Structure 1
């Protein structure tokens, strides 16, 4: 069976070892679910897993995948975005174990015309919620100009 979603590397601006997600599972409207199997040899892997703090990056990359999927619908390439903040990150485990299959669910809660957005995020494994947070992100219209200080 062919996935209905392109490879994750075509949806996020992350490359090589910085692309932490494995694939998009579902995406519809304001929501996206992605999957990651915690690698034994990943950038953040040590002592049999990755620290729970990496969950914030899993969530942020799922938001990037959602934005890339939205852009793809309009014929646009993935653009960089900025994680501005995380509120109420809660995680019930100290680490995600090697080989553990995580589902990262995000839902857009708010989007301003200037590119500022807020997403409710959750990480599940084996039917249990392991982590949750609210992420605030910013997606400038022209990321290159913004990073060069040319956009107000």
Structure 2
């Protein structure tokens, strides 16, 4: 299965390139910062944008574990303890994102994620994500149309 099949984004917005490792409660993904990355600013990739890579790693994990169409749909609600060790990354840097999967509670989850370049930590965060069930999604869509 290709990464593009697991992530609802397309083109350059797909920031995850490959799966490095997957376990029951863990996923590690690889990202190469390319010249067409939409988050580049003056030729640099601001490290705060690794939050999107962390979120996409969860989408990849869910897509590998759940074949339902809403497995790919998630909402990044926030981040706590977001530590940035290096403010900018470079084109050509290979990032390894490691995310520990916690228990979900009714579609809500908090996940610990860290990003490395050359085995050196560049960012880490505890991210909160909402991954609605089909029933929850139907209720949200119904309420938004009222």
TM-score norm. by structure 1 comes to: 0.85
Equivalent position of 1:36 in the other structure: 31
Equivalent position of 1:95 in the other structure: 88
Distance 2:96 2:120 in 1: 10
Higher helix share: 2
Residue 115 of structure 2 is aligned to residue 123 of structure 1:
yes
Distance 2:90 2:53 in 1: 14
Tell me how far 1:150 sits from its aligned partner: 4.9
Give the total of aligned pairs: 142
* Contact 2:12–2:36 (Cα < 8 Å) also in 1: no
- Cα displacement string for residues 106-140 of structure 1 (whole angstroms, at most 9, x for unaligned residues): 0112311x100111000011111111100010111
Equivalent position of 2:4 in the other structure: 9
* Contact 2:22–2:28 (Cα < 8 Å) also in 1: yes
* Contact 2:27–2:99 (Cα < 8 Å) also in 1: yes
Q: 1:3-152 to 2 correspondence within 5 Å?
A: 6-71=1-66, 75-77=67-69, 78-112=71-105, 114-142=106-134, 144-150=137-143
TM-score norm. by structure 2 comes to: 0.89
Distance 2:33 2:142 in 1: 37
Structure 1, unaligned stretches of length 5 or more? 1-5
Distance 2:137 2:102 in 1: 26
- Cα displacement string for residues 34-91 of structure 1 (whole angstroms, at most 9, x for unaligned residues): 00011112111132221111111111111111111111xxx43442111111001111
Aligned-residue CA RMSD (Å)? 1.8
Structure 2, unaligned stretches of length 5 or more? none
* Contact 1:102–1:124 (Cα < 8 Å) also in 2: yes
